[in-house]
Amino acid sequence: MSKAIIMEIRAGAGGDEAALFVADLFRMYSRFAEKNDWPTALVNSNSIGIGGYKEVIFEIKGKDAYESFQYEGGVHRVQRIPTTEKSGRVHTSTASVAVMPIATETEIKINPSEIRVDTLRASGPGGQYVNKRESAVRITHLPSNIVVTCQEERTQLQNKEQAMSVLRTRLMARKRAQELAERGDERKNQIGTADRSEKIRTYNFPQNRLTDHRIKKSWHNLDKIMEGNLEKITKVFDKLKKSEKDK
């Protein structure tokens, strides 16, 4: 298994509040990685300018990173009172998370004739150019129409290499999903399939509670969990995984 993963978090329903939730999840995962001494690197992000993200893609390197994060894939739902809400009404917003082991060049070979590489200027919040040179790279995989953009590295070459890594990883994830679909329900167990459309959790801030719908279990102290204290959750899934192997 790869010692590095790509995580993608995208805002769903809820407008600006969903984008702020993406930022909260990104910070939660980053802090958990930091506690485990797993280096993280931002691959690409789309900021809304008030501290939130429409999308954030990042890499985590660590021996057990995939084992710890593999059950985070799916739709995460948050229930809380937005800072912009004057009437005190609780809003519900969502964000989707994808977790993918990084694929190597030997695992996924990409024909150069099947990609289109475009260079563009890296942009920051509000469209301001953070780099006047065309250092950002957008790669389109023509057969699948998968598009990857990378602008966080300093040079065009570094961004291209990072974008190719993400493209290979997405293609590998797509291949595995197709294989899973062909096998039908064989892999659909109590933990779920990590499908991005599957609602897996609710973060209820008024009740300071996190609930995982797949295993019908809740944890309190949500405020501490959001600071990266995910150990209790990952341990439960580790035990479930081991019990499934023993069956």
Q: Which domains does the chain have, with CATH numbers?
A: 4-102+187-246 (3.30.70.1660), 112-182 (3.30.160.20)
Do β-strands 199-204 and 74-80 pair in parallel, antiparallel, or remain unpaired? parallel
The span from the CA of 56 to the CA of 11, in Å, is 9
Question: What is the DSSP secondary structure assignment for residue 17, as one 8-state letter?
Answer: H
Q: Which pTM value belongs to this model?
A: 0.83
Is residue 44 within 8 Å of residue 149, measured between CB atoms?
Answer: yes
- Dihedral over alpha carbons 203, 205, 209, 213 (to 10 degrees): -20
- Using DSSP's 3-state secondary structure scheme, residue 139 falls into strand
Is residue 139 within 8 Å of residue 114, measured between CB atoms?
Answer: no
Query: Given this model, what pLDDT does residue 245 score?
Result: 61
The span from the CA of 103 to the CA of 60, in Å, is 13
Using CA of residue 222, residue 224, residue 230, residue 231, what is the dihedral sign?
Answer: negative
Mean per-residue pLDDT pooled into runs of 10, the chain (247 residues):
84 91 96 95 88 93 90 93 80 92 87 92 53 79 93 89 92 83 53 61 96 94 95 89 65
DSSP assignment of 214-225: TTTEEEE-HHHH
The span from the CA of 10 to the CA of 53, in Å, is 8
Query: Given this model, what pLDDT does residue 130 score?
Result: 47
Query: Given this model, what pLDDT does residue 240 score?
Result: 82
Phi, psi of 162, deg, nearest 5:
-65, -40
Query: Given this model, what pLDDT does residue 121 score?
Result: 78
DSSP assignment of 162-230: HHHHHHHHHHHHHHHHHHHHHTGGGG--TT----TTSEEEEEETTTTEEEETTTTEEEE-HHHHTTT--
